[in-house]
Amino acid sequence: MKPWFLKHDYYLVRHAESTANIQHLIVSDLKLGRESYGLTETGNRQAAQCGQQLSNIINKKLNSDDKKSSEIVTILFSPFLRTKQTAQHIYNALTAKDITVQIHLQEEELLRERWFGDVEQTNSKNYNKIWESDIAFGKHHSMYNCESVQSVLERVLTLIETLEKKHVEKKTTFVLVSHGDTCQIAQTWFSDIEPHKHRFLTPIQNAEIRDLTKIAATAFISSKSKL
């Protein structure tokens, strides 16, 4: 499976600003994050604006003459409260407009946050310990008892492969609402770079949208130019 041969369109969205962000706290434990550390007031505004942006993007595609435009939009979100709330804002924005496609909202545990092990519930500056280890020891390392980069990538690819096989009749736009590291690592596959180099990519910001289909097309052109 190569990213430039996918049938469907994919967008990546990192959750909007959460209370964990402003407390500079690492929260990767689903048992804690499922009910706590939701969006701040600023985060709710960011998520609403993100929804409007996505709505405009999708409307523009639908109003074009592209016969390959999607008939369904499915928003998949990590089960953490901060991603769930972000996804709900996106859903509200999409359903508020007269869009002629089906809109679905669905929780997806494979999009959960990367587990940060020993630095869980510590200051967010400790992310650097994990990221430095990613570069130093590669995609399979689990220093500080963290989840390896490869593990994160494999679960995201499992999801994408499942979506590609399950949705065969109608073209679908999938909006994947997730977390910083999960987003960064997922994008490496679409960018055709090694997953442990995820911090070489521009860090995705709160409520930022990334067009993974466009990123994959750029990577395909780049790969051809190297031949």
Question: pLDDT digits over 28-58, tens only?
Answer: 999 999 999 999 999 999 999 999 999 999 8
Of 8, 15, 89, 196, which residue is the catalytic one? Answer: 15
Who contacts 69 (Cβ-Cβ below 8 Å, separation ≥6)? 61, 62, 171
Average pLDDT score over residue span 51-79: 84
Closest by alpha carbon to 213, among 19, 2, 6? 6
Model pLDDT, residue 66: 60
| Secondary structure E strands in 15-113 | 72-77, 102-107
Strand partners, 173: 9, 73
Binding site, residues?
14-21, 82
Q: Which fold has domain 3-221?
A: Rossmann fold (3.40.50)
Model pLDDT, residue 222: 75
pLDDT 10s digits, 154-202 = 999 999 999 999 988 888 999 999 999 999 999 999 999 999 999 999 9
> What's this model's pTM, rounded to 2 decimal places?
0.95
Sheet of strand 102-107: strand arrangement: 102-107, 72-77, 172-178, 9-14, 209-211
Q: Give the 3-state secondary structure of residue 179.
A: coil
Whether the pLDDT of residue 121 is over 80: the answer is yes
Distance (Å, whole) CA 198 – CA 25: 21
Distance (Å, whole) CA 16 – CA 81: 11
Of 8, 89, 108, 113, which residue is the catalytic one? Answer: 113
Average pLDDT score over residue span 115-140: 98
**Would residue 196 show up in a list of annotated catalytic residues for this protein?**
no
**Would residue 8 show up in a list of annotated catalytic residues for this protein?**
no
Band (pLDDT 50/70/90 cuts) for residue 206 is very high
Binding site for substrate, residues?
14-21, 82
On whether the CB atoms of residues 172 and 8 are closer than 8 A, the answer is yes
